[in-house]
Amino acid sequence: MPIYTAPLKDQQFILHDVLKITAQTDVPGYDELDRETTEAILGEAAKLAENVLAPLNAVGDEEGCTLENGVVRTPKGFKDAFDQVRDGGWTALDCDPEYGGQGLPYLVSTAVGEMFSSANMAFNMYQGLTHGAYNAIHAHGSDDQKRTYLPKMVTCEWGGTMNLTEPHCGTDLGLIRTKAVPNGDGSYAISGQKIWISAGEHDMCDNIIHLVLAKLPDAPAGVKGISLFIVPKFMVNDDGSLGERNSLSCGGLEMKMGIHGNATCVMNYDGATGFLVGEAHKGMRAMFTMMNEARLGVGLQGYAQGAVAYQNALGFAQDRLQGRDVTGTKAPEKPADPIIVHPDVRRNLMDQKSFVEGARAFTFWGASLIDRSHRAHDADAEGLVSLMTPVIKGFLTDKGFETTVLAQQTLGGSGFTREWGLEQFVRDARITMIYEGTNGIQSLDLVGRKLGQDGGKHVMAFFEMVKSFIADHKGQDADFDKQFLDPLKAASKDLQAAGMYFMQNGMKNPNNALAGSYDFMHLFGHVCLGLMWARMAWAAREALAAGAGDTEFYETKQATGRYYMARQLPMTGTHLARIQSGADTVMALDAANF
Amino acid sequence: MKVLVPVKRVIDYNVKVRVKADGSGVDLANVKMSMNPFDEIAVEEAIRLKEAGKADEVVAVSIGVKQAQETLRTALAMGADRAILIVAADDVHTDIEPLAVAKILAKVIEDEKPGLVICGKQAIDNDLGATGQMLSALLGWSQATYANKVDIDGENAVVTREVDGGLQTIKVKMPTVITTDLRLNEPRYASLPNIMKAKKKPLDEKTAADLGVDVTPRLTVVETAEPAGRAAGIMVGSVDELVAKLKETGAV
Ligand SMILES: Cc1cc2nc3c(=O)[nH]c(=O)nc-3n(C[C@H](O)[C@H](O)[C@H](O)COP(=O)(O)OP(=O)(O)OC[C@H]3O[C@@H](n4cnc5c(N)ncnc54)[C@H](O)[C@@H]3O)c2cc1C
Ligand SMILES: Cc1cc2nc3c(=O)[nH]c(=O)nc-3n(C[C@H](O)[C@H](O)[C@H](O)COP(=O)(O)OP(=O)(O)OC[C@H]3O[C@@H](n4cnc5c(N)ncnc54)[C@H](O)[C@@H]3O)c2cc1C
């Protein structure tokens, strides 16, 4: 059985040494997040993650969900654990106090989300989807809708879902066929089939509030004709009590590679009563509000699976005896040395560790930008996080999955067996690269929309930020310059060169941009992690200089950063070369010749 | 009735303990510290008494370094009403001995006048298991140690104790000192709203000197050493051979 230990110290380091949140006094709510407060919150969340959620991870995988007579049963223990999570107030963490939320910053919910996701990703999705639906209604619903649905969604007494995908369309939502016909009383009759709806039906909530994309009779063609509807499983009476069952049902559960504990449902709407959210035909816009945060949440799931997989790989590497250290025996009393002595095992572990810690910093930084944009109404922060969102989603899930595979490799044959649990992390992590917009689509979003957004202002701001970080820190420590600032500068130059290539070659042939978009997303991701490592190494240096007691911790941070800069960041050169080779070789074959 | 619960900040039970290089003790610098698990059980029991209407206030007390504030906040987040910190050391490696702790508690109790004290049966760091008993002697109160079940009926407490070979139920006069055993209850997780509320609950701070108690150690730590590593196993062919081997090695 795999173990999970919440990374409290690492999280605290990012919150307080790197992001210095209490010093960000212009973000309301950050001032009360001193070390003791976050320690208390995260410490208690860690107990739940370690003792309640993690032990159910393998159970959920083995047992999966079952559908009988339209009722979906979640795995044994899920309901009790769900009650514990909501009774503890964790589902309300960053929700609006007006609807019963705790009103804490999104950053705190990100830290807690990482622990819950690492401990049990399939389980945490029930809450995650509810939160996404909460966000959409909160941002676009009428006052009446907010009063009716939000309080119960904050507590997760009612669940929430997002219904976009249909059998014939997932990426290209302009093709959806689900219809919404006015009933004449302000409500609509929703008819159609949605597939792969996560948490579409289950036994942990009294009601489920489905958010459904559908087309009105007079809808313009394509994505400009999509509207968003609230379609509750049980109708809600004026006094808030539950009324009759709506005409919708779960028509089947998908058999799938991973996240078995999460019900992936076919949802049939047979003239179900729905209520328009926001304006007619503006449903995609409403959906996108929740998608930005949802995509950050998926990026988080990706590295969170990498994080728990790494912990288990590390434990194995310290115990498993195999071969001798070629530079001299380390454990003469034993038949062999622990495999952690071997350079190739080290490489493997360092790739995992340096990615996970960099990804955590990157995601927390993204979350802090969300707080800055929501709480301090900072438009620049909003632009920056909108630029970063596809990078966080695409890069962190690709690399998070890769990390689970690396961790599996550390275990040799044991990694392939059920018993050790590593193979579950691999299977569970895989979906993060697909849903919430495939990673290919994330790269298109990045190159096609986000780069040029507001005249390219946000990407310029990013470059400016890297430049000023280098300028502000240069010349104070020759080693730091050489190990961190020089590589960061080189990587950032590669990123600029790639952007330049798109500008010069993408106009005359868009394929030149689209064939390079995936590499660009990875190139961007590496520069971001390089920046994060430079920031973390500097923060560690400051802490050491200030006489912080835990020298081992801070020196380990610096050493891990040096590894990333030396062994991972050079990938930017490869990505640039691939981008600059253009679309010709990519598009050379006739489709018939593949 | 007011219930007083002493809580100790100790090395977290999940941390792999490392002995300091000079053998003078366990390395506590920069390791995770938490509330002593038996004290968590004590806090839980006190809160349950309050929830059952048998107590009206729960006061948590900690004696040690300044950082024990965090431990008290944990007790407040679980549901204690207020907290008192007695700063008695400034080095995290200084362990205040049971007698000094008991004397300090006796002073606090003089002021607070609780009707009941619930403490853990022992702290998982030094495993001394003596504070509750000493406190009861200093106060001249009854004691009920190793509690597995607690019933308060006005004048008396009926306590089931875990003793060698089984359970023993005793009746003691109130006020009393109860020490908790592992199976008394399962401590709750603090809820997020209560964690936030705990920040605003009163936490008074005093020093051992304020109470006039001398905390100078009376015990000397001669040496601290890692337990011997586990020896390699051997394979045996049958139960008989196993029994023979056990006898031969003096294990049975
Ligand atoms: C377990 C699971 C849970 C899910 N949960 C939900 C849910 O809760 N709600 C919901 O609505 N949906 C959900 N989905 C659906 C998911 O969001 C879609 O599968 C995903 O968006 C991809 O759509 P698709 O499967 O139709 O693939 P397609 O759109 O058919 O894409 C196939 C491939 O083509 C590529 N592609 C498509 N169009 C383009 C383009 N224009 N340019 C370049 N490449 C392109 C894609 O990148 C992909 O690699 C879930 C899916 C799964 C498997
Ligand atoms: C499905 C399955 C089928 C199998 N079928 C067979 C079979 O038919 N017959 C058979 O005999 N075996 C079989 N095996 C065993 C398989 O060959 C071993 O699992 C594999 O050789 C790895 O050995 P290990 O699992 O002991 O890992 P370990 O040797 O413990 O290796 C663990 C990790 O340490 C690394 N490592 C180990 N030593 C060193 C070193 N000196 N330097 C650097 N790195 C090192 C490895 O690369 C690996 O990443 C099978 C295994 C599985 C899972």
Rounded Cα distance between A166 and A175, Å, is 9
Q: What are phi and psi of A160, to 5 degrees?
A: -140, 155
The HSE-up count of residue B67 (CA atoms within 13 Å, CB side) is 19
A162-197 b/e (C-beta count within 10 Å ≥ 16 → b): bbbbbeeebeebeebebbbeeeeeebbbbbbbbbbb
CB atoms within 10 A of CB B225: 7
- Which residue's C-alpha comes closest to atom 30 of ligand 2? A412
Nearest to A44 among B29, B190, B199 (CB): B190
Q: Do A37 and B199 touch (CB under 8 A)?
A: yes
pLDDT in tens, A312-357: 999 999 999 999 999 999 999 999 999 999 999 999 999 999 999 9
Residue A291 CB less than 6 A away from ligand 1: no
**Taking Cα atoms as reference points, which of B80, B66, B118 lies closest to residue B195?**
B80
Q: What is the pLDDT of residue A219?
A: 96
Q: Which helix (H) or strand (E) holds B177?
A: strand B176-180
Q: Is A344 in the pocket of ligand 2 (CB under 6 A)?
A: yes
Comparing alpha-carbon positions, the chain A residue that sits nearest to B15 is: A5
Q: Is A156 within 8 Å of A91 (Cβ atoms)? A: yes
Structure tokens at B189: 């997780």
Q: Is A518 in the pocket of ligand 1 (CB under 6 A)?
A: no
Task: Answer whether A322 contacts ligand 2 (Cβ < 6 A).
Answer: yes
> What gap in Å lies between CA A502 and CA B208, rounded to an integer?
70
Q: Where are the beta strands (DSSP E) in A21-157?
A: 66-68, 71-73
Rounded Cα gap, residues B61 and B84, in angstroms:
5
pLDDT of residue B251: 81
Band of the pLDDT at B201, cuts 50, 70, 90?
A: very high
Domain A8-138 identical in fold to domain A160-281: no
Our answer on whether the CB atom of A171 is closer than 6 Å to any ligand 1 atom is: yes
Mean pLDDT over A48-73 rounds to 97
> Which pLDDT band, with edges at 50, 70 and 90, does A256 fall under?
very high
**Using 50, 70 and 90 to split pLDDT, how confident is the model at A289?**
confident
Place of tokens 């927390």: A364
Amino acid identity for residue A236 in this structure: V
A292 has a pLDDT exceeding 90:
no
Q: Show which residues on chain B lie within 8 Å of chain A, measured between beta carbons.
A: 14, 29-30, 32, 34, 69-70, 73-74, 77, 189-196, 198-199
Q: Are A180 and A188 in contact (CB under 8 A)?
A: yes
> β-pairing, A248-253 with A66-68?
unpaired
Residue B201, domain extent? 2-248
Q: Whose CA is nearest to atom 26 of ligand 1?
A: A170
pLDDT of A82 higher than 90: yes
Cα–Cα dist A429/A441, whole Å: 18
Axis-axis angle for helices A517-545, A571-580 (nearest 10): 160
Count other C-beta atoms under 10 Å from residue A11's C-beta: 24
Average pLDDT of chain A to the nearest whole number: 97
Mean pLDDT of A359-377: 97
Q: Can you name the residues that pair with B177 across neighbouring β-strands?
A: B117, B143
| CATH number of the structural domain spanning residue B26 | 3.40.50.620
Contact status, residue A111 vs residue A8, Cβ threshold 8 Å = no
Q: How far apart are CA B144 and CA B157, in angstroms?
A: 9
Which residues on chain B are in Cβ contact (under 8 Å) with A48? Answer: 189
Instruction: Assess contact for A105 and A19: CB atoms under 8 A.
Output: no
Q: How far apart are CA A118 and CA A505, in angstroms?
A: 42
Contacts of A32 in chain B (CB under 8 A): 199
Ligand 1 centre and the CA of B201: distance in Å?
A: 50
Q: Is A547 in the pocket of ligand 2 (CB under 6 A)?
A: no
* Measured distance CA(B62)–CA(A236) in Å, rounded: 50
CATH topology of domain A160-281: Butyryl-CoA Dehydrogenase, subunit A; domain 2 (2.40.110)
**Encoded amino acid at B230, one letter:** R
What is the domain count for chain B?
1
| Overall average pLDDT of the B41-58 stretch | 97
pLDDT category of residue A286 using cuts at 50, 70 and 90: confident
| Two tokens, residue A557 | 């941070």
Is A333 catalytic? The answer is no
Mutate to test the interface with B, among A4, A44, A115, A551 (most CBs of B within 10 A): A44
For B223, the 3-state DSSP assignment is coil
- Rounded Cα distance, A197 and A331, in Å: 53
Ligand 1 atom closest to the Cα of residue A213 is 11
Residue whose CA lies nearest to ligand 1 atom number 27? A170
pLDDT at B233 over 80: no
Give residue limits of the domains in chain A: 8-138, 160-281, 453-584
- Whether residue B68 has pLDDT greater than 80: yes
Mutate to test the pocket of ligand 1, among A127, A171, A228 (most ligand atoms within 8 A of CB): A171
Cβ of residue A550 closer than 8 Å to a chain B Cβ: yes
According to the model, what pLDDT value does residue A416 have? 98
pLDDT surpassing 90 at residue B7: yes
Using the mean position of ligand 2's atoms as its centre, give its distance from the Cα of residue A312 in Å. Answer: 17
For residue A490, the model assigns a pLDDT of 98
Of B32, B70, B192, the CB nearest to A41: B192
The superfamily (CATH) of domain A8-138 is Acyl-CoA dehydrogenase/oxidase, N-terminal domain (1.10.540.10)
The rounded distance, in Å, linking the Cα atoms of B183 and B186 is 7
The interface predicted TM-score (ipTM) is 0.91
Kind of pairing between the strands at B9-11 and B33-35: antiparallel
Q: What is the pLDDT of residues A202-252, one digit of tens each?
A: 999 999 999 999 999 999 999 999 999 999 999 999 999 999 999 999 999
C-beta separation of A295 from A521 below 8 A? no
With beta carbons under 8 A apart, name residues in chain A contacting B34.
Answer: 43
Name every chain A residue with its beta carbon within 8 A of the beta carbon of B32: 8-9
Looking at A507-560, which runs of residues are DSSP E strands? none
Strands B116-120 and B176-180, sheet pairing: parallel
For a substitution probing ligand 2, which of A345, A347, A350, A352 has the most ligand atoms within 8 Å of its CB? A345
**Is residue B229 scored above 90 in pLDDT?**
no
**Residue % of chain B over a pLDDT of 90:** 83
Banded pLDDT at A417 (limits 50, 70, 90):
very high
SS3 label, residue A467: helix
Strand partners, A169: A166
CB pairs under 8 A between A and B: 51
Task: Output the pLDDT for position B250.
Answer: 83
A290 pLDDT more than 90: no
pLDDT category at B249 given cuts 50, 70, 90 is confident
Which of A193, A202, A208, A438 gets mutated to test ligand 1 (max ligand atoms within 8 A of its CB)? A438
What does the alpha-carbon distance between residue B121 and residue B179 come to, in Å, rounded to a whole number?
Answer: 5
Q: Sorting pLDDT into bands at 50, 70 and 90, what band is B143?
A: very high
